[in-house]
Amino acid sequence: MTSSSKLIDLSASAVVDLLKQEETTPLDLLDALEERIAEVNPTVNALPTLCFERARAHARDLMKRPVAERGRLAGLPVPIKDLTRVAGVRTTYGSPIFADFVPEQSDILVENLEREGGIVFAKSATPEFGAGANTFNEVFGATLNPWNTARSAAGSSGGAAVALATGMAWVAHGSDLGGSLRNPASFCGIVGLRPSPGRVARDPGAVVDDILGVEGPMARTVEDVALLLDAMVNEDPRDPISLPRTGESYVAAARTPQPLVRVAFSPDLGVTPVDAEVAEICRKAAWRFTEIGVAVEEAHPDLSGAKNAFQTLRAVSFAAAHRKKLEDCPDLLKPEMIWNIEKGLRLSASEIATAEEQRAEIIRQTHAFFSHYDLLLTPATIVPPYPVQARYVDECSGVKFDNYIDWLAIAYSISLTTAPAMSLPCGFTKDGLPVGLQIVARPRGEARLLSGAAQLERLLDLSTVHPIDPRTPS
């Protein structure tokens, strides 16, 4: 049996290989995680709810099956973001309204992961209802960035990113509306993939045909993200936009260098200010593609309508999902939530129609753009990790933002395109803080995205497979 410390230091793919060779067991992995969580989590507060008793019961049931019938994950433990229901496990949505809520039924996504041999052992921290790219809430407090515990882990999948960076998970579930997967991946030095809408089945929300919000995988390497994506993809009739499996292996795509001819780099997508140091780190990383014969050019699709389209459509979804909460218990909602819900309730039909027209044009522009370029590269976030006490970024490069969403434009503009996008660690600031490069492929082009990202990951060689211990400033 491999020791706990050595297990924690392995990649998810290596751990699954050990499981399939019966050189370790799901119970061994849970023991290793429980030890690591006890050591690390009190410092960073990434996994506020643990369910090891349930996890061990599932592990024992899984181990009764032949190895070949244990699914793609074969008993690999997975934390689930606290916006997603897990049967019998406290699920708070980061809100005092649901502080003691224990669902009887799991989300479609959780059901599918457990069928594929995933063992749910924890809920990862999220801001209230996923609103705001800084992971704090009134139920559990703030989640801290392990590279500097005085800094934000971003959000809303901040708990998942911190758990990965510190070795409290090998893979993790996250979700992404306006960058909720990509922002914390960038801030924490791990990999986060936002798939195309419908690629991962989930319980539909109040807007049943929503194509802005998606569920996706997070891990420390591109191959490990591909491993979890292979287990997550699934068509389910309960999710009306879910897509059937294509038969392709995303792990195989990550392992196989597909030829690239031309990629585009944009420091700002024409929609946002960007910190100069972040932009330069990402530019240098993007130009590494030239070392394998790929042309790199500065270009981006026309996303000029993105701000209005996203702000409007997000407000519509917030009004649909949370209107009753505002009516029934406004005193239990944070100010940003109230602002977003009220914005949605004030919208006219004409304003919504304009936003839909803008989104349609952005999607057309995106498809045309990818007829010329294999990938689009940009910064994943516009600033390095900021002080955790700040609720959000209110200024960048001398530009002040109107609200708590504006600083996320480089991520949410891509959400509108329906294209899959990844945050890949690409370097560090002079203060030693991680920076992520956003890599985007054509809509439904996850295989091309994973292949290209894996090629660049090898060139950059940042060794993100190895977790870190939290770093507290002196």
- CA separation for the pair 166, 170 (Å, rounded): 10
Q: Quick one: what percent of the chain has pLDDT higher than 90?
A: 98
Rounded mean pLDDT, 431-442? 98
Residue 320 within any structural domain of the chain: yes
Specify whether 81 is catalytic: yes
- CA separation for the pair 288, 109 (Å, rounded): 36
Q: Is the dihedral of CA 36, 41, 44, 46 positive or negative?
A: positive
Half-sphere exposure of 418 (CA within 13 A, CB side): 17
pTM for the model stands at 0.98
Q: Where are the alpha helices (DSSP H) in 274-426?
A: 276-287, 306-328, 335-346, 349-369, 409-417
Specify whether 415 is catalytic: no
Per the residue annotation, which of 11, 13, 81, 123 is the catalytic one?
81
Beta carbons within 10 angstroms of residue 431's beta carbon:
12
- Please report the pLDDT score of residue 4 as a whole number: 79
Tens-digit pLDDT profile for residues 127-170: 999 999 999 999 999 999 999 999 999 999 999 999 999 999 99
Asked whether residue 2 carries a pLDDT value surpassing 80, the answer given is no
Beta carbons within 10 angstroms of residue 471's beta carbon:
15
Residue 236 lies in domain: 4-460
Residue 469 within any structural domain of the chain: no
Specify whether 156 is catalytic: yes
Residue 465 within any structural domain of the chain: no
Tens-digit pLDDT profile for residues 285-328: 999 999 999 999 999 999 999 999 999 999 999 999 999 999 99
CATH number at residue 197: 3.90.1300.10
Residue 466 within any structural domain of the chain: no
- Please report the pLDDT score of residue 1 as a whole number: 54
Domain count, the chain: 1
Per the residue annotation, which of 157, 180, 266, 423 is the catalytic one?
180
Per the residue annotation, which of 156, 186, 196, 242 is the catalytic one?
156
Residue 474 within any structural domain of the chain: no
- CA separation for the pair 192, 172 (Å, rounded): 9
Residue 435 within any structural domain of the chain: yes
Residue 31, CA distances (Å) to 2, 52, 55, 90, 359 in order: 12, 9, 11, 21, 47
Residue 190 within any structural domain of the chain: yes
Residue 413 within any structural domain of the chain: yes
Computed over every residue of the chain, the mean pLDDT equals 97
- Please report the pLDDT score of residue 474 as a whole number: 77
Asked whether residue 86 carries a pLDDT value surpassing 80, the answer given is yes
Give the contacts of 186 (CB within 8 A, at least 6 positions apart). 154, 192, 379, 380, 381, 423, 425, 434, 435, 436, 438
One-letter amino acid for residue 306 of the chain: A
Q: Which residues pair with 233 in a beta bridge?
A: none
Tens-digit pLDDT profile for residues 163-203: 999 999 999 999 999 999 999 999 999 999 999 999 999 99
Tens-digit pLDDT profile for residues 337-393: 999 999 999 999 999 999 999 999 999 999 999 999 999 999 999 999 999 999 999
- Please report the pLDDT score of residue 5 as a whole number: 81
